[in-house]
Structure 1
Amino acid sequence: MASKKLRRTGVSADLCERLKRHQVETCQDVLSVTPVELMRLGGLSYPAALELLRLVSKACSPTVRTALDLWRKKGELCFSTSLPVLDRLLQGGLPRGALTEVTGPSGCGKTQFCIMLSVLATLPKSMGGLDSGVIYIDTESAFSAERLIEMAQARFPEFFSVKERLLEMASRVHLFRELTCQDVLNRKEFDTSLPGNLMHRSNLLGQEAAVLKYLSQEFCIPVVLTNQITTHVGEKVHCPQRNQADVSTEEDSGFVTAALGNTWSHCVNTRLIVQYEDTERRQIIIAKSPVAPFAVLSYTVQREGIRLEGNENPESSFIYGTDPGLQPIRLRTGFIYNLSQATPSSC
């Protein structure tokens, strides 16, 4: 909230321009100076400087809400995934005004899940959508417009049988890609063994998370992120759920954790883990949520996107009382992934 621009707080355009000349552009900039300094920088009287501080403080402070208000409006604070069992567990769907992370090995359906959510967000509210646009930031060039169209037509054939609706849906998904050399350099990995790099990376992650949380809360929108996995070679982790018949002795020499580490894992509000169950079926694991129990659901990736399979009696699929930090992630090849150092307890 402190990074909010002054022009969005109700401050006059003339005063914003005067303060901008002195590099005072955000709420944090204003609140970091004294009333006397504001008088000098903005050409204000002392009462006017105090009033500006009061206005800015109110604008960047989170709105006070009671638990009763949240309970009454819980239906308006969720975004349906169109997967009934998952929505029920998450008390309505993905939270709006919070960060949701989907992490797991490549090829498990993270991109498919995001494309499906993009279609859903453009739908009318009467169909469970947001009747809104989508900002899709693709850092791996994995987004497919053809897949977006195919998924929309397969999942909602009657609604998207009209070509105009299909075109309108596609026009609402705004794709951003990082394709320049400078973008690649900006995404370089940090050698955490070098002094200061770990702290620098943690600070950057914290800043990015703060911006995303501000946007999600300010506009009451869902923010969904995908996270990769990082291999730690030469380390062993004991996992009581491990099937030794599926893993060779050579594969026991390493394990992986969700990328970005503990700093990032504490920033996300909901964490979904995707993993392989077998060559066709996969699993969604609710590993972290302020409202949902730890649960495991089976799914497959079809033309219409994600489809839950074999969860008619979902209680039989749940693993209550299981530490999400010890839940292994299974690859198609039989490797076992472990998030023991990456998944914190729910805050």
Structure 2
Amino acid sequence: MASKSLRRAGVSAQLCELLRRHRVENCKDLLSLTTLEVMRAAGLSHRRALALLQSVSKRCVPPVTTALELWRQNSESYFPTSLAALDKLLHGGLPRGSITEVAGPSGCGKSQMCMMLSVLATLPRSLGGLDGGVIYIDTESAFTAERLVEIAQSRFAEYFSSREKVRQMAARVHLFRELTCRDVLNRLEKLEENIILAKAGLLILDSVASVVRKEFDTTLPGNLSHRSNLLGQEAATLKYLAHQFNIPVVLTNQITTHVGDGGSSSSGEDSGFVTAALGNTWSHTVNTRLIVQYADAHQRQIVIAKSPVAPFAVLNYTVQKAGICLNENDDEDPVREGTDPGLQPIRVRTGFRYEPAKATGGADKPPR
């Protein structure tokens, strides 16, 4: 909540401008000052400076609600993914006001899922959409406008039959390419205004792990602590934005090799398995974790590894021109017995086989 801009906390535009000259731009900046410092920066009396601090402090406190109010809002608390079986398990779709992570190996369709959700968010509510804009932060340069349009025209051919409808959809997806950790964090901390101007109903970060793992070699002293602090700041800001605007926030995550808990192999080497990256602490940060993994050469699987409402479940899908398409012919019950979402093994492609990969290196080293 402290990341909230001063203007949205009820501070006048004139006062905001005075404070901005002293590099005080959000609630956190202001509340870090003493009353005397506020008096000097804003030219206020002691009484008015104290009143300003108290007013802004109250605006940063999360509002109190009741379980009954949440229950009444339940029908509008989810964003349907258009994947009927997945939405049914999730009680309506991706939860608003919280973070959903899609983790898995390269090539399983994480970015395809993000682009499909972007199209869905722009659709009218009568078609299951949010009738809003999309904020899309791309850290891997994986987003392509051509693929976005292809998914739209293939999945909703009737609605996007005219070029004008396609143009309107594409104009509502606001893309930011941020290629360093600092750029990503700076963008998130200044995103409030963009969300308001774009009337955004969905925020996507593809991917949260990409820039972090490039910049932080966790084998070097101090880097793991610095990385944890950065991820903590990102998570806090994302949760604030999700809650403040009551929108679903979707992140993608990479994979890593977990070493040491898988027993020993017959050759005497350490065994291990592939899991979602960024560690166990991060896995507790996300509210919902969906894992995408390989089933065979053509088919992939969505695993509901963590959810406040859904059971552990596995659904088969393929990636087509229309995006992610579930195998509707599956008769098998998708509900399975799960494990710790932070250590859930992920099936990866190894040669021509699809199986959990064996450990070959450090605890945060992606498979080749």
Normalised by the size of structure 1, how large is the TM-score? 0.85
Describe the shift of the 1:338–1:82 C-alpha distance in structure 2 as closer, same or farther (beyond 3 A).
Answer: farther
Secondary structure of the residue aligned to 1:136 is strand
Deviations 1:37-84 (A, max 9, x none): 433432323332232122201221222221111111112221110011
Give structure 2 stretches of 5+ with no counterpart: 185-209
- Superposed, which structure 2 residues align to 1:250-329 within 5 Å? 253-310=271-328, 313=331, 316-320=333-337, 322-325=339-342, 327-329=344-346
Matched residue count: 331
Q: Is the contact between residue 205 and residue 263 of structure 1 (CA under 8 Å) also seen in structure 2?
A: no
2:279 partner amino acid:
G
What amino acid sits opposite 2:24 in the alignment? V
Match of 2:348 among 310, 323, 331: 331
> CA shift at 1:10, angstroms?
1.2
Match of 1:81 in 2: 81
Q: What RMSD in Å do the two structures reach over aligned CA positions?
A: 3.0
Q: For residue 207 of structure 1, what is the aligned residue in structure 2?
A: 233
Q: How does 1:1-347 map to 2 (within 5 A)?
A: 1-178=1-178, 188-231=214-257, 235=260, 237-238=262-263, 253-310=271-328, 313=331, 316-320=333-337, 322-325=339-342, 327-333=344-350, 334-337=354-357
Gap change, CA 1:235 and 1:335, over 3 Å in 2: farther
Equivalent residue, structure 1, for 2:198: none
In structure 2, the residue corresponding to 1:161 is in which secondary structure?
coil
CA distance in 2, matches of 1:150, 1:99: 27
Write the letter of the residue equivalent to 1:71: W
Change in CA separation of 1:276 and 1:252 when aligned onto 2, cut-off 3 Å: farther
In 2, Cα distance between equivalents of 1:310 and 1:332: 24
Q: 3-state SS of the aligned residue for 2:132?
A: coil
AA aligned opposite 1:88: K
Evaluate the alpha carbon distance shift between residue 323 and residue 127 of structure 1 in structure 2; reply closer, same or farther with a 3 A threshold.
same
Question: Would the alpha carbon gap of residues 238 and 109 (structure 1) be closer, same or farther in structure 2, given more than 3 Å must change?
Answer: farther
CA distance in 2, matches of 1:335, 1:252: 17
* 1:310, distance to aligned residue in structure 2 (A): 4.6
Q: CA 1:326 to 1:249, structure 2 compared with 1: closer, same or farther past 3 Å?
A: farther
Query: Matched residues in 1 for 2:338 and 2:273: separation?
Result: 23
SS at 2:160 equivalent:
helix
Separation of aligned partners in 2, 1:280 and 1:270: 26
Partner secondary structure for residue 271 of structure 1:
strand
Q: Which moved more, 1:304-313 or 1:161-170?
A: 304-313
Give deviations 1:247-270, integer Å, cap 9, x for gaps.
x98998553332222232222111
**CA offsets, 1:158-197, max 9 Å, x none?**
11112211111112122222469x9799753312233221
Post-superposition shift, 1:118? Answer: 0.8
SS of the residue corresponding to residue 126 of structure 1 reads: helix
Q: Aligned-pair distance for 1:103?
A: 0.4
Structure 1: runs of 5 or more not aligned: 343-347
Give the counterpart letter for 1:220 in structure 2. N
Moved more, 137-146 or 120-129: 137-146
Contact 1:206 1:263 in 2 (8 A): no
Residues 1:252 and 1:198: Cα distance change in structure 2 (over 3 Å): closer
CA drift at 1:282 = 1.1
The farther-off stretch of 49-58 and 124-133 is 49-58
Task: Tell me the TM-score normalised to structure 2 length.
Answer: 0.81
* Structure 1 residue 231, shift from structure 2 partner: 3.3
Counterpart CA distance in 2 for 1:64 and 1:335 is 47
Runs of 4+ in 1 over 4 A off after TM superposition: 182-187, 248-254, 310-314
The worse-fitting range, judged by mean Cα deviation, of 6-15 and 251-260 is 251-260
Alignment CA distance shift 1:42-1:326 (3 Å)? closer
Q: Is the 8 A contact 1:294 1:324 kept in 2?
A: no
Distance in 2, matches of 1:43 and 1:337, equals 63
Cα contact 2:273–2:346 (8 A) shared by 1: no
Name the CA distance, whole Å, in 2 between partners of 1:113 and 1:156.
Answer: 15
Corresponding residue for residue 345 of structure 1: none
Q: Is the 8 A contact 1:251 1:335 kept in 2?
A: no
